[in-house]
């Protein structure tokens, strides 16, 4: 991945809530300053083909932008593209209006961001899930393998049959990255565990096929699995439904999906695109913008697992302790989670 450009505030905490409390405490002092600066930024978000309300990745970006708007009263613009030619066009439309920062969601935007960012060197750009090496672009990447490792451990500990499943969306390296981390996590708890892995399809439709997702999950249950993790966008809704119907456990992804079927969703692997977007907006507003790589893993709070009222009974103290210990080891580097994309293969 190359060397990281550590940001000063990164090393501490990017927990939004904390920042907010801090903000409230300093409200009186900061109000006039923030108010004046708030008017200065005109942020924008460009979604990928999935669109604003895809219940997953793009929607997380929308959530982050909405939250920023709510907290700071800063209006933002967004756009949903219909085809590949519109990526560049939309970015340029934003840039021409002097909007900055412009956050592009999804690795497919890389070429367009590279082109337009060069044309407008004074504006700030950010791209999620891809690297664009330009002085005014922030490239935000996530260590999905770390979050998947953690939920893999939980899956293995919750499983009674020693067999767990994984349902991916479209068969691309990014999803194999989820799968590989998951497998490593499962094997770390139970080296003999059997893991069934299925991809839903090879086209974009694979992100939005809940019926097929449900069927894949059922077939995995038939083979003895009792916990199944999905990284399949809208398809995963069917996976979680099948798990709830069969009395087994599902694991959600990207957003917190625990509440979809309380008691049947073991946990969710959170990929905090919302934090990335919020932070990009905030850094621009506070004049602390930094370009370069930003890799968000467990350490930075970019990936996480969800624990709330809906799954509190499914995760016992022993599991919690084991996962927390492993998380610390991942953060300290003692456990190295394999990144599928580093060598395009999974040793597990």
Binding site for another protein (CB under 8 A): 49, 51-52, 77-86, 88-90, 92-93, 107-108, 110-111, 129-130, 170-174, 201-204, 341
Nearer to another protein, 86 or 219 (CB): 86
Nearer to another protein, 164 or 277 (CB): 277
Rounded least distance, CB 116 to another protein, Å: 9
Nearer to another protein, 115 or 320 (CB): 115
Residue 255 in tokens: 């957003």
Give the span between the Cα atoms of 7 and 231, in whole angstroms: 29
Rounded least distance, CB 2 to another protein, Å: 12
Nearer to another protein, 94 or 229 (CB): 94
Give the span between the Cα atoms of 240 and 233, in whole angstroms: 11
- The size of the chain, in residues, is 348
Rounded least distance, CB 80 to another protein, Å: 5
Asked if 134 and 118 count as a contact pair (C-beta separation under 8 A), the reply is: yes
Rounded least distance, CB 173 to another protein, Å: 6
Annotate 308-342 with DSSP letters as a single string.
Answer: STTTTTTS-HHHHHHHHHHHHHHHHTSS----HHH
Rounded least distance, CB 139 to another protein, Å: 12
Asked if 199 and 168 count as a contact pair (C-beta separation under 8 A), the reply is: yes
Q: How far is CA 304 from CA 7, 145, 183, 316, 342, in A?
A: 20, 11, 17, 18, 21
Rounded least distance, CB 96 to another protein, Å: 10
User: Going along the chain, which residue ranges are E strands?
Assistant: 44-47, 77-80, 102-105, 125-128, 137-142, 163-170, 194-201, 227-231, 249-254, 265-271, 292-296, 303-305
Give the span between the Cα atoms of 47 and 35, in whole angstroms: 28
Nearer to another protein, 112 or 243 (CB): 112
Nearer to another protein, 24 or 202 (CB): 202
Rounded least distance, CB 142 to another protein, Å: 12
Nearer to another protein, 141 or 164 (CB): 141
């Amino acid at each position: 991945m190359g060397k990281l450009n550590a940001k000063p505030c990164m090393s501490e905490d990017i927990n939004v809530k904390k920042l907010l409390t801090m903000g409230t405490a300093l409200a009186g002092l900061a109000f006039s300053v923030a108010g004046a600066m708030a008017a200065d930024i005109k942020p924008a978000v460009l979604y990928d083909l999935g669109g604003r309300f895809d219940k997953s990745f793009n929607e997380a970006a929308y959530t982050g932008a909405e939250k920023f708007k709510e907290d700071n009263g800063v209006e933002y613009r967004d756009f949903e593209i219909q085809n590949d030619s519109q990526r560049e066009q939309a970015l340029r439309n934003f840039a021409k209006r002097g909007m900055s920062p412009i956050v592009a969601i999804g690795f497919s935007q890389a070429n367009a961001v590279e082109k337009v960012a060069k044309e407008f060197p004074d504006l700030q750009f950010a791209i999620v899930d891809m690297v664009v090496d330009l002085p005014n672009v922030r490239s935000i990447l996530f260590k999905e393998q770390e979050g998947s490792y953690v939920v893999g451990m939980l899956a293995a500990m919750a499983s009674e049959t020693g067999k767990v499943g994984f349902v991916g969306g479209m068969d691309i390296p990014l999803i194999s990255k989820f799968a590989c981390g998951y497998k490593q996590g499962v094997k770390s708890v139970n080296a003999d565990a059997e893991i069934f892995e299925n991809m839903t399809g090879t086209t974009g439709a694979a992100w939005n096929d809940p019926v097929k997702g449900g069927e894949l999950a059922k077939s995995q249950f038939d083979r003895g699995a009792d916990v199944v993790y999905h990284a399949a966008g809208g398809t995963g809704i069917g996976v979680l439904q099948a798990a709830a119907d069969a009395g087994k456990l599902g694991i959600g992804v990207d957003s917190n999906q625990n509440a979809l079927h309380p008691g049947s969703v073991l946990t969710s692997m959170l990929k905090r695109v919302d934090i990335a977007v919020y932070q990009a907006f905030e850094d621009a507003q506070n004049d602390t913008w930094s370009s370069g790589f930003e890799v968000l893993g467990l350490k930075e709070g970019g990936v996480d697992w969800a624990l709330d009222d809906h799954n509190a009974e499914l995760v016992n103290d022993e599991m919690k302790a084991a996962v927390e210990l492993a998380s610390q080891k991942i953060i300290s580097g003692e456990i190295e989670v394999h990144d599928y994309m580093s060598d395009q293969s999974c040793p597990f």
